Amino acid sequence: MTFDLSVFAGSGTEILGGFLMTLLAWISGTALSLALGLAVSLGLVFGPHALAIALRSYVEAIRGTPFLVQLFILYFGGPYIGLTLDPLPAGIVGLAIYGGSYFAEIFRAGFLAIPAGQVEAAALLGLTRRQIVGRIQFPQMMVVILPALVNMVIILSKETTILSIITVPELTFVVKGIGTRTFAFVETLLALALGYWLLVEVTSACGKALEQRVARHLVR
């Protein structure tokens, strides 16, 4: 066998389409899971006891099971309870439910990282609950939890490969298809690995730059 990169010739559009699909799943999955995670963390920290228990079970169940199994439950099990989704929506919803539980824990830790004295001082000054969360707690905790958020966003970018298993035509699915067609599995998968490596490194560098920017006023 020889190492032959010409197997990619003529597949440019196909690969670009797969990459755009990966980006679509990653960005929409991340956006939805950030929103879900924030909502869940608010319920965990400020909600009534019963709600907090329900949300805690959701977080623990998702964090204790593999993403692949969650996807199978949603995609293959969903139709039996009247929830029939196409691969892409199922993948995005799956990513949102999965990422939401991890983001919820990160946001919760952020809320707890702000000293209680600040919240009490704000309450004494007559700020409403909403103002305290929106103007005192949230802006400060974002600086603290940004590294953890960036880390989770990177993890989600890697989890999008798993959507290929439920036949979402993202990058891994497309490149595997080219491998099957040309029998050049090693060349195609190696190129794919290098592509993801680059994507993760670039995202990580952007995250570092962002962290430095939001922390620029902090005294070192």
| Residues near another protein (CB under 8 A) | 1, 60-61, 64-70, 72-73, 76-78, 80-81, 158-159, 161-162, 164-165, 172, 176, 179, 185-186, 189-190, 192-193, 196-197, 200-201
Q: What is the dihedral of CA 41, 43, 47, 53, to 10 degrees?
A: -90
**Closest CB to another protein among 9 and 80?**
80
State in angstroms the smallest separation of the CB of 101 from another protein: 13
**How many Å separate Cα 80 from the centre of its chain?**
27
Length of the chain in terms of residues written: 220
State in angstroms the smallest separation of the CB of 163 from another protein: 10
| Two tokens, residue 61 | 């169940």
**Closest CB to another protein among 46 and 197?**
197
**How many Å separate Cα 48 from the centre of its chain?**
27
State in angstroms the smallest separation of the CB of 4 from another protein: 12
**Closest CB to another protein among 66 and 115?**
66
State in angstroms the smallest separation of the CB of 6 from another protein: 17
State in angstroms the smallest separation of the CB of 97 from another protein: 12
End-to-end distance of the chain based on CA atoms, in angstroms? 56
Question: In sequence order, which residues have a C-beta less than 8 Å from that of residue 22 and are 6 or more positions away?
Answer: 157, 160, 170, 171, 172
Q: Read off the DSSP letter of residue 85.
A: -
**Closest CB to another protein among 65 and 118?**
65
Q: How many helices (H) and strands (E) does the chain have?
A: 9, 0
**Closest CB to another protein among 77 and 115?**
77
